[in-house]
């Protein structure tokens, strides 16, 4: 498997764990606010291959807790992704997988094989607004299946939503709450314009701190834990 990027060290992307992070190539969404525009196109040139990452990990046993696999959308790589995760687990590392939830089959397989230790899934919008929000046709049933698989997985997980003010209203957030009701962990993420798939989104804003506090109050009616990041 080939990757579009690699960070050797992160303290902020896998809760309290010390980890490295790989970026897979290609995404089946085109969220206009995406801050990894250089990764979403499947024709992007690979920068590093699996062997180099596994060799790196062999030299970090006892020094790193785990690896974060992010993208792009990692589950688009199907069996190649699962094979990579198996190799990482054989070396004794924890695996955190970031996903947009479009491939419940891969998520189910990874959970059943116990080759994933933490899943972070984006909830882009209420189900009714998905296609509009992500800029691509979406099979929302797959999103629903992924949410249920993750909630019932027994492994640590989080759902999270990046919030551009003009794209998601308070009512939309409440709707998301209803749709993931009973989830353990949910994060409201402030949209920070750095680089974006749609350059016009560099001018977009997120809600104020006070408004985020109100959004948190809304979500706390539906999930066990909610925070802002």
Binding residues for ligand SF4, rule: CB under 6 A, are 27, 29-31, 34, 36, 40, 71-73, 100
Residue 214 to residues 30, 191, 208, 210, Cα–Cα distance (Å): 28, 17, 10, 7
Classify strands 2-10 and 19-24 as parallel, antiparallel or unpaired.
antiparallel
Smaller CB separation from ligand SF4, 87 or 144: 144
What H or E segment, with its residue span, contains residue 213?
A: helix 209-219
Count other C-beta atoms under 10 Å from residue 41's C-beta: 14
Smaller CB separation from ligand SF4, 34 or 188: 34
For residue 29, the minimal CB distance to ligand SF4 (Å) is 4
Smaller CB separation from ligand SF4, 54 or 189: 189
For residue 121, the minimal CB distance to ligand SF4 (Å) is 10
- Please state, in angstroms and rounded to a whole number, the distance separating the CA atoms of residues 82 and 80: 6
Smaller CB separation from ligand SF4, 29 or 187: 29
With contact defined as beta carbons under 8 Å apart, do 5 and 18 qualify?
A: no
- Please state, in angstroms and rounded to a whole number, the distance separating the CA atoms of residues 193 and 204: 7
For residue 178, the minimal CB distance to ligand SF4 (Å) is 22
Count other C-beta atoms under 10 Å from residue 42's C-beta: 11
The residues near 82 (Cβ < 8 Å, ≥ 6 apart) are: 106, 109, 110, 113, 115
The residues near 199 (Cβ < 8 Å, ≥ 6 apart) are: none
For residue 225, the minimal CB distance to ligand SF4 (Å) is 23
For residue 97, the minimal CB distance to ligand SF4 (Å) is 13
For residue 92, the minimal CB distance to ligand SF4 (Å) is 28
19 three-class SS: strand
Smaller CB separation from ligand SF4, 36 or 131: 36
Smaller CB separation from ligand SF4, 64 or 168: 168
């Amino acid at each position: 498997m080939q990757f579009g990027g690699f960070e050797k060290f992160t303290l902020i992307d896998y809760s309290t764990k010390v980890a490295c992070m790989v970026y897979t190539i290609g995404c089946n969404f085109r969220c206009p606010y995406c801050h990894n525009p250089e990764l979403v196109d499947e024709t992007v040139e690979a920068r590093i291959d699996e062997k180099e990452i596994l060799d790196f990990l062999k030299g970090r046993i006892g020094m790193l807790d785990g690896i974060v696999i992010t993208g792009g959308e990692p589950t688009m790589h199907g069996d190649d992704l699962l094979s990579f995760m198996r190799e990482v687990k054989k070396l004794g590392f924890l695996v955190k997988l970031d996903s947009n939830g479009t491939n419940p089959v891969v998520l189910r397989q990874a959970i059943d094989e116990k080759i994933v230790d933490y899943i972070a899934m984006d909830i882009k919008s209420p189900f009714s607004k998905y296609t509009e929000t992500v800029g691509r046709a979406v099979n929302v049933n797959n999103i629903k299946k992924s949410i249920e698989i993750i909630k019932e997985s027994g492994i640590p997980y989080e759902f999270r939503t990046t919030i551009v003010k003009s794209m998601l209203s308070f009512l939309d957030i409440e709707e998301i709450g209803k749709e993931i009701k009973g989830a353990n962990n949910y994060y409201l993420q402030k949209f920070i314009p750095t680089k974006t798939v749609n350059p016009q989104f560099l001018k977009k804003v997120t809600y104020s701190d006070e408004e985020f506090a109100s959004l948190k109050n809304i979500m706390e009616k539906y999930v066990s834990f909610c925070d802002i990041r």
